[in-house]
């Protein structure tokens, strides 16, 4: 449990992240859990007495290290702890800035903000091969119960692979987005907009779905629908891909998000510019996009080790 004053401050900070900064609901939930665990630990660490907001912002580095050691001791991974530390630093910096007033009149938070994130190996994206992606697009509609659902599933996965969309972005399209233009304006994470091209094959797949769909696709209503006419649930696309990958012998990593990874990896392998791919994916940082260069290098080394005459002695 955390005291009401801390709970109120946390609620105001999270509301600012959501309303002003456009942080996703998933991240808000994770940050809330991270901060509540941190605040509970700090109160216990200080003898059961919760510090004031000013004392929180001015936490010494030793307290931050004690919290991180405790979190790791509970089984929290280095990756999850890095996320939690980011949330804690953001909250403490907000307190130091006067609780969002922008006055900078709060205490000095430099000690707490100097805490370093634990090192962790970045998880590499797991794309499909080019043939695997093509096979998925060709076969994903084979297990549908109705022709229009088959067309729908094909249209969605073609969008994911053809334009590098997140599943949430594809499902946010409305009737106003049909007929699919050559360039789509997509609102992604952080409410940031970007322009992504659509391939003729994608336009055709979406047009086929619209032609067969039994529901009225109003301009302000979702473009992709479930069997009863409501907004399509992302889980249904995941299940369609799960059935298809089992039939095709593709790995469990062949998920909707893997098609976005495949889009980026295949563009990079074909000579695509890293900055351009960053823009297409909507990554805020180039370092996020650079993960795909590691994938490309890893594949290159696999080919080298298996094919070079001297690789095996």
Write down the residue that tokens 């707490």 correspond to. 112
* CA dist list (Å): 134 to 139, 196, 201, 286: 9, 20, 12, 28
Tokens in use for 84? 């939690």
User: In Å, what is the CA distance from 271 to each residue of 52, 162, 267, 268?
Assistant: 55, 17, 7, 5
Angle at 248 (CA atoms; ends 246, 254), nearest 5 degrees: 65
Tokens of 98: 């006067």
Task: Evaluate whether 218 touches 100 at the Cβ level (below 8 Å).
Answer: no
Please list the active-site residues.
166, 189, 257, 260, 283, 292
Residue 242 main-chain phi, psi, to 5 deg: -65, -45
């Amino acid at each position: 449990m955390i005291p009401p004053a801390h709970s109120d401050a946390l609620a105001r900070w999270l509301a600012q992240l959501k309303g002003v900064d456009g942080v996703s609901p998933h991240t808000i939930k994770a940050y809330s859990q991270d901060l509540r665990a941190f605040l509970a630990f700090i109160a216990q660490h200080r003898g059961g007495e919760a510090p004031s907001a000013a004392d929180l912002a001015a936490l010494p580095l030793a307290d931050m290290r004690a919290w991180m050691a405790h979190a790791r001791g509970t089984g929290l991974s280095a990756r999850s702890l890095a996320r939690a530390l980011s949330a804690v630093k953001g909250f403490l910096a907000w307190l130091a800035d006067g609780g969002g007033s922008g006055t900078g009149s709060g205490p000095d938070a430099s000690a707490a903000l100097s805490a370093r994130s634990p090192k962790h190996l970045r998880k590499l994206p797991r794309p499909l091969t080019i043939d695997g992606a093509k096979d998925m697009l060709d076969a994903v509609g084979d297990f549908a119960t109705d022709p229009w659902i088959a067309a729908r599933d094909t249209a969605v996965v073609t969008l994911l692979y053809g334009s590098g969309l997140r599943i949430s972005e594809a499902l946010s399209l409305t009737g106003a987005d049909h007929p699919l233009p050559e360039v789509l304006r997509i609102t992604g994470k952080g409410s940031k907009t970007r322009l992504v091209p659509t391939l003729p094959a994608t336009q055709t797949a979406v047009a086929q779905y619209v032609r067969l769909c039994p529901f009225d696709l109003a301009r302000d209503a979702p473009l992709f629908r479930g069997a009863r006419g409501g907004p399509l649930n992302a889980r249904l696309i995941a299940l369609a891909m799960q059935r298809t990958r089992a039939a095709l012998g593709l790995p469990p990593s062949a998920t909707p998000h893997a098609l976005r990874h495949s889009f980026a990896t295949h563009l990079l392998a074909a000579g695509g510019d890293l900055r351009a791919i960053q823009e297409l994916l909507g990554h805020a940082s180039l370092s996020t996009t650079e993960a795909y260069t590691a994938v490309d290098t890893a594949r290159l080394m696999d080919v080298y080790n298996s094919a070079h005459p001297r690789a095996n002695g």
